[in-house]
Structure 1
Amino acid sequence: MKGNQPQLLEDLRLLFAPLEPVKRAGKGILRLPEQQGQTTEKAHGRLETRSIRVSSELKGYSDWPGLEQVFEIRRCWQSKGVWKEAVRYGVTSLPATIAIPECLLKLKQGHWIIENGLHYVKDVIMGEDKSTVHADNGPTIMAALRNTALSLLRHAGYSTIAARMRYNSTHPQAALEILSLSL
């Protein structure tokens, strides 16, 4: 869940905030039970633990279409001897009977592989989210051009797209060579 849905993000943060003894009309507030799961793995020279808390409490409350469950994923990892933590929130249309916490963790991890491999490059490196092209077919054409450029770079064997784009921006001949063209 990104910051482009501020009300839903705030609802998720409040839902998963540490419990405080809040009273309403002299009675405690009942929170629906949440489910939890956790994975720990060592990869890329670091130990990483992912924990997830899942709740159906916002189903019917939120206006988000098809919402069945919401979740909080907390990643903890050690990098250069220092422990770091990142928290992400999300929603899913998968009901609790199908998507148990461990399943959602695996699905979300697979999602980030796609997000980092494609959407991150398009959003951050290529500036797709900041594009000011909004008229007529402009956004569709620009998306096609970005996808073509990304495909050409990957087909040419470049895996670090950001570095290659920076290099190509100062070396136009290198960019043209990918197309088998010359100046």
Structure 2
Amino acid sequence: MQTPGGIGFPHAQQAVRITRTRMVAGKRTRETVYLVVSLPAAHAQPADLQEWGRMEWHIENRLHWVRDVTFREDAHRARTGNGPAVAAALRNTAIGFHRGNGETNIARATRRANRRPHDLIATVTSSYPTTQ
């Protein structure tokens, strides 16, 4: 279904084109992305749209990139049943655990935890009081 403005989202009120330019290792890259919003302009001003676009990019960089690159989520073979949801929950738990411990480099923290699993187990079990 097309809306009057030609946007292919039935409840869309606004569409914004965002062009991101950045320098990585001396090479300039440019990317264009689109933000589609169901709020009219009176309720979503340009400053709001800019903030939402930046928040989405922040989430993409902090979570999705880590899941895709560090944990190679896209290459995971679980495709049926509860496997994909369980694997995603475990990845999210690992990321949350490391971030909660102040780690900024999740790949490095994961490698460290892989080499010293007893430290990880001691940390997790010592945080919870035992009941008898």
Q: Normalized against structure 2, the TM-score is what?
A: 0.69
The structure with more strand, counted as a fraction of residues: 1
Give the conservation status (yes or no) of the 8 Å contact 1:153–1:178: no
Q: Does 1:147 align with 2:92?
A: yes
In the alignment, what sits opposite 1:100? 45
Q: Does 1:57 align with 2:2?
A: no
* SS of equivalent residue, structure 2 residue 17: strand
Matched residues in 2 for 1:65 and 1:165: separation? 43
Deviations 1:105-164 (A, max 9, x none): 111112222222222212332222332212211122111111111122223331111232
**Separation (CA, whole Å) in 1 of partners of 2:27 and 2:73:** 34
Decide which structure has greater helix share. 2
Q: Which runs of 5+ in 1 are unaligned?
A: 1-55
The partner residue of 1:165 within 105, 110, 122 is 110
What is the RMSD of the two structures over their aligned residues, measured on CA atoms? 2.8
Residue 51 of structure 1: aligned partner: none
TM-fit CA distance, 1:57: 2.5
Is 1:156–1:178's contact at 8 Å kept on the other side of the alignment? no
Unpaired runs of 5+ residues, structure 2, are 124-132
Q: Tell me the matched-pair count.
A: 120
Q: Which residue of 1 aligns with 2:122?
A: 180
| SS of alignment partner, residue 107 of structure 2 | helix
**Taking structure 1 as the reference length, what is the TM-score of the superposition?**
0.53
Instruction: From the CA coordinates, give the structure whose radius of gyration is larger.
Output: 1
